[in-house]
Amino acid sequence: MYKLFFVSFFMFLLCINANSQTSDTINLSTLEQQFSDSIALLNEQKEQHFSDSIAFLNEQNKQLKASRDAYNTGLLLLENENYIDAIDYFTNAIIIDSVFVAAYLSRAKCYQGSNDELAIADYRTAFSLDSTNLQPLYSVAALQLRLDKILATQTYQTIIAFNKAEHKAYSQLGVIAFLVKDYKEAEQLFTQSLTINKDAYTLNDRGSCYRKLEQFDTAIQDYLAAIVLNNNLAFVYNNLASVYAKQGETEKALSYYDLAISKDVNYALAYNNKGSILLENKEYDKANLAIEKALIANAEYAPAYNNKGVIHHQFKRYNDAIADFNKAIKLDKNYAKAYLNRGISRQMVRDEDGACLDWNKAKELGIIMVKKYLENDCE
């Protein structure tokens, strides 16, 4: 009996152990399955993320290509001066890529002249996207200078605030001061520019300040220094000749006018200035030849017509002179000397009323010497 009980108990323990082993095996398999499922899920998520990233990059590249294609088409249209269509393509490029600096700059060039406000807005946007490039601000100031010198001055000052070594900004401020006839201020600004960078253009401009201030020797020094830096600038030779003319050095003046013409065969101003000196020297044939060349170079150059009229007057061809003065005044309604001269020629053909009208206009435009004509013949 005890033997039977022991056997039964032993079998019971075996069953328990067998059940325990089976239970442990089931739990381990479940964990392994769960781990496997987690790995599979992570892999699936990674693959999805990777796939999404690739799709996103592909879409970005597609959009970037569309933006650049539109931009490149716009450039071709801009080169062919088809500004309206070019604007459309640059706009499409910007719609796709709102930080496309080059597209804003190119569209601004298309707007220039037809809509300066939109051009300025695009240049400012380009600068806001890349403040390391000051060129858009220079473009803004150049457009502002056409209408509002104060705004242009403020923009050039802004450029200097960003970089005090911007010699071009000082030079442009000097040009503004020169335009409003503040020659001393202009000279100081040109000097500031030249302390940073010496160039022929700024030396020429400072020389012109000294010429206006009648500091002729100093003006000559600057013009000659400009020629040393760049001997191909026709206007520098012309300005230098003008200083020698003011000093009464006729031969030097004529030689530098000729040098100016040799640098630019279509330089109407130099031809006419040469003609003026020859006219003063009563070398009328030579003067007439120079003036005719001025008109060939520029058929709408008012001073040349004025000088031509003076020659006709000298030979008592008064009606021809009046016709030339008429042309000069038609081209420049504020040409004071032409009114003065036409008045003199009108007086010679007994058009007293016409002469007085012309002299009064000349007086209004600032000709002081006309006072004697008005006092003697019109009062």
pLDDT of res. 14: 39
Q: Give me 171's structure tokens.
A: 């030079």
User: 115-162: per-residue pLDDT in tens?
Assistant: 999 999 999 999 999 999 999 999 999 999 988 999 999 999 999 999
Reply yes or no on whether the pLDDT at 30 is more than 50: yes
Q: Would the pTM of this model clear 0.85, i.e. be above it?
A: no
Reply yes or no on whether the pLDDT at 18 is more than 80: no
Question: Looking at residue 368, what DSSP letter applies?
Answer: S
CA distances from 379 to 71, 177, 251, 337, 361 (A): 69, 40, 43, 21, 15
pLDDT of res. 270: 98
What residue ranges do the domains of the chain occupy? 62-163, 300-379
CB contact set of 180 (below 8 Å; sequence gap of 6+): 149
Give the C-alpha separation, 276 to 309, whole Å: 12
Q: For the chain, what percent of residues have pLDDT higher than 70?
A: 84
| Cα angle for residues 295, 277, 181 (degrees, 5° grid) | 85
Compare 257 and 46 and report the one with higher pLDDT. 257
Q: Give me 347's structure tokens.
A: 């007086």
For residue 379, name the pLDDT band (cuts at 50, 70, 90): confident
Using a 10 angstrom Cβ sphere, with 0-12 exposed, 13-18 middle and 19 or more buried, the burial of residue 298 is: middle
Reply yes or no on whether the pLDDT at 361 is more than 60: yes
Q: Give me 355's structure tokens.
A: 């002469």
pLDDT of res. 147: 86
User: 33-63: per-residue pLDDT in tens?
Assistant: 665 656 655 555 555 555 556 555 555 677 7
SS3 assignment for 278-301? HHHCCCHHHHHHHHHHHHHHCCCC
- State the sign of the Cα–Cα–Cα–Cα dihedral 264, 265, 271, 274: positive
Q: Give me 101's structure tokens.
A: 């600096």
Using a 10 angstrom Cβ sphere, with 0-12 exposed, 13-18 middle and 19 or more buried, the burial of residue 351 is: middle
Give the C-alpha separation, 346 to 356, whole Å: 9
User: 268-319: per-residue pLDDT in tens?
Assistant: 999 999 999 999 999 999 999 999 999 999 999 999 999 999 999 999 999 9
CA distances from 289 to 276, 284, 292, 344 (A): 11, 8, 5, 24
Give the C-alpha separation, 222 to 3, whole Å: 134
Query: Contact at 8 Å (CB) between 151 and 137?
Result: no
Query: Contact at 8 Å (CB) between 324 and 354?
Result: no
User: For the chain, what is the mean pLDDT?
Assistant: 89
- Homologous superfamily of domain range 300-379: Tetratricopeptide repeat domain (1.25.40.10)
Q: Give me 369's structure tokens.
A: 């010497």
Give the C-alpha separation, 7 to 346, whole Å: 155
Give the C-alpha separation, 202 to 189, whole Å: 10
User: 65-95: per-residue pLDDT in tens?
Assistant: 898 999 999 999 999 999 999 999 999 999 9
Give the C-alpha separation, 148 to 223, whole Å: 30
DSSP-derived 3-state class of residue 332: coil
Using a 10 angstrom Cβ sphere, with 0-12 exposed, 13-18 middle and 19 or more buried, the burial of residue 284 is: middle
CB contact set of 187 (below 8 Å; sequence gap of 6+): 174, 206, 209, 210, 213
Greatest alpha-carbon span in the chain: 169
| Mean pLDDT of the 5-23 span | 43
Dump the DSSP string for 54-70: HHHHHHHHHHHHHHHHH
Alpha carbons within 13 A on the beta-carbon side of 331 = 17
Amino acid occupying residue 362: A
62-163 CATH choice from 1.25.40.10, 3.40.50.620, 3.40.190.10, 1.10.760.10: 1.25.40.10
